[in-house]
Amino acid sequence: MRKYDAVIFDMDGTLLDTLEDLKDAVNYALRALAMPERTLSEIRQFVGNGAQLLLKRAVPEGTQEAAVARALALFREYYGLHCNDKTKAYEGVVQLLRELKAEGYALAIVSNKPDPAVKELAAIYFEGIVGTAIGERSGAAKKPAPDTVYAALGELKVAAERAVYVGDSEVDVMTAANAGLPCISVLWGFRDREFLHENGADCFVETPDEIRKYV
């Protein structure tokens, strides 16, 4: 007897390796404003809280809000056109999702990535497998607020106590806690085990297939 009826996944660092495309979009915005570019390692630490905070972290300290807003607009413009240039699904992820769907699990993606990019990438990589994909959008607080998780559960018609959340970051740990869901933390994403443990994670998997034993 399985524990859950629904599995909700984060996208960046959990299902898809999006880091190179995010770096390119951030650095496009920074170059356009004559600001120093950022390394892949820096971008890895900046992601997780949505596009606005990503750009706020990427611009030089003390940058005026108007310039941050301009950088964000440039980022969104570029990323909207280039969100799949270098992005790829992590090995084993698509197979896992296919198997979970075949076994009757309801599946969803909940991300702090801009909603149009979430829906586009979900359609490219998981069409016919994951039907519910929700990103950052107006009218709903982004993670770690539980709003978008609740929206996904509403679309899936599954109660929170019958769902589990899967992510790669401290934001995902907090999101799951705020929504009243257990959290499975993956170790192939943008944060390491020690950091996740320090931020409250207590269930870890090293490969996508390992998720099956927890659901």
40-74 pLDDT tens trace? 999 999 998 889 999 999 999 999 999 999 999 99
What pLDDT score does 11 carry? 97
Domain ranges of the chain: 6-17+87-214, 19-82
What pLDDT score does 167 carry? 98
Side-chain-side CA neighbours of 162 within 13 Å: the count stands at: 14
Per-residue DSSP letter, 113: E
Q: Whole-angstrom Cα distance, residue 170 to residue 178?
A: 12
What pLDDT score does 115 carry? 93
What pLDDT score does 1 carry? 73
Query: Please, what CATH class does the domain formed by 6-17+87-214 belong to?
Result: alpha beta
What pLDDT score does 112 carry? 94
In the chain, the amino acid numbered 210 is E
**For this structure, is 10 an active site residue?**
yes
Exactly one of 10, 17, 21, 147 is catalytic; which is it?
10
Q: What is the pTM of this model?
A: 0.93
Total Cβ atoms within 10 A of residue 4: 17
Intervals of the chain under pLDDT 50:
none
The CATH T-level fold of domain 19-82 is: DNA polymerase; domain 1 (1.10.150)
Mean of the per-residue pLDDT values of the chain: 96
